[in-house]
Amino acid sequence: MIEAKIRGLGTYVPERVMTNADWEKILDTTDEWIVQRTGIRERHVAAPKEVTSDMGTHAARRAMEDAGVSEEDIDLLICATASPDTLLPSTACWMQPKLGLEGKPAFDISAACSGFVYGITVADQFVKSGQYNNVLVVGAEMLTRMVDWQDRSICVLLGDGAGAAVVSSQGEGGRILGSRLHADGTYGELLWIPAGGTRMPPTLETVEKRLHYYTMRGNELFKIAVKSMADVTKELLEGLAMDSGAIDWVVPHQANVRILQALAKRLRVPWERVVVNIERYGNTSAASIPLAFDEALHDDRIKRGDNILFVSFGGGLTWSALIVEW
Ligand code: COA
């Protein structure tokens, strides 16, 4: 039986850092409100000339270097994003020539903040089936360009960044033990972009009413987030005949530090075992798990042999969990 492994990892964040104090200057908000309600202190914001595929390309190149693979070795490119360069073509297709992967299959995954775990799961299937040896999975998000900078209920929460992984049939450690994916479209309007698609094509009126920006019902999402991430983790652990005590590290999607505290409690995982970096990046959607994972690898918290739980939740609604034996 072929195994699928996370063989290399890479990340990228834009240079510009925007603090809560910077938001205070342009919006009716306070550092105190943002820190207390979310745990966020600052986030990175892309340069005007940058686009999502540029950020994804930087992260992907670093992941390929980390994995020790070249363009010829990559069989498939998957990009998870909720902030694409364009509606058509996919961000993966924009990224492909920048990476020298012309001719290789490339597609996007639209699963919002769950996109990275969805992407790794798809890659896992292609590798385990024997069809591909090396799949490049990128989570790239430029959310600061998708939100209304006058809507304080959401704009302070989000940040830009990208992370990428090479999922491979070869390599030391990084074995993907299993995953579970879920979605429930009946909750679609809890986090969505009302206009710009076939449901409400763009007009002057939709622009004036600011309907092409992200719209979120944060309060309702909060409760569902905690429950769904705890449930999918329990389902996955049961499927793998593992106990939550076997999890060495939880690397969750970073949406709100209070969501993560509630999740740790429900899973009975000590808080010190949860990798949290939301204070410096905000919510970077599909990029948040690789950004947190990369940080915990580089500061030597995560060691070879550790069991790592990736767990996420996002618009769709979508939620998912995956366990890797590092
Ligand atoms: N600064 C200051 N006040 C703000 C604010 C801001 N940036 N944003 C909202 N407020 C105000 C609201 O207007 C409201 O005021 P009111 O009581 O006078 O009406 C008050 O703060 C409380 O708002 P509420 O929405 O109840 O706050 P909350 O404690 O639920 O926190 C979120 C809001 C968005 C931080 C929180 O609900 C959350 O994180 N939800 C989950 C979001 C999520 O996971 N999203 C993405 C999925 S990946």
> Pick from 129, 155, 173: which residue ends a domain?
173
320 lines ligand 1 (CB under 6 A): no
222 lines ligand 1 (CB under 6 A): yes
**Residue among 19, 153, 217 to mutate when testing ligand 1 (max atoms within 8 A of CB):** 153
The reply to whether 92 and 217 lie within a common domain is no
Q: Which amino acid, one-letter code, is at 123? A: A
Q: What is the pLDDT of residues 288-325, one digit of tens each?
A: 999 999 999 999 999 999 999 999 999 999 999 999 99
225 lines ligand 1 (CB under 6 A): yes
The reply to whether 114 and 48 lie within a common domain is yes
Rounded to whole angstroms, the Cα distance separating 206 from 311 reads 35
User: Which pLDDT does position 172 carry in this prediction?
Assistant: 87
> Pick from 144, 173, 202: which residue ends a domain?
173
Strands 160-168 and 249-252: unpaired
Q: What is the pLDDT of residues 258-293, one digit of tens each?
A: 999 999 999 999 999 999 999 999 999 999 999 999
Pair 81, 139: CB distance under 8 Å = yes
**Structure-derived torsion over alpha carbons of residues 151, 152, 157, 158, reported in degrees to the nearest 10:** 30
Rounded to whole angstroms, the Cα distance separating 116 from 123 reads 10
Shortest-distance Cα residue to atom 39 of ligand 1: 256
Q: What is the pLDDT of residues 53-108, one digit of tens each?
A: 999 999 999 999 999 999 999 999 999 999 999 999 999 999 999 999 999 999 99
Cα separation of the two ends of the chain: 19
The reply to whether 215 and 167 lie within a common domain is no
* Residue 319: closest CA among 253, 272, 249, 248: 253
Widest pairwise Cα distance in the chain: 58
Q: Count CB atoms within 10 A of the CB of residue 111.
A: 27
> Pick from 151, 173, 195: which residue ends a domain?
173
- pTM flag (> 0.75): yes
Rounded to whole angstroms, the Cα distance separating 312 from 236 reads 13
Say if residue 146's pLDDT is above 90. Answer: yes
The reply to whether 256 and 307 lie within a common domain is yes
The reply to whether 102 and 203 lie within a common domain is no
Q: Is residue 1 very low, low, confident or very high in pLDDT (cuts 50, 70, 90)? A: confident
Mean pLDDT across 23-47: 98
Annotated active-site residue in 93, 113, 134, 155: 113
Domain that holds residue 82: 5-173
CATH classification of the domain holding 105: 3.40.47.10
Percent share of the chain, pLDDT over 90: 99
255 lines ligand 1 (CB under 6 A): yes
The reply to whether 150 and 226 lie within a common domain is no
Number of domains in the chain: 2
- Where on the phi/psi map is residue 304: left (φ > 0), alpha (ψ -120 to 50), or beta? beta
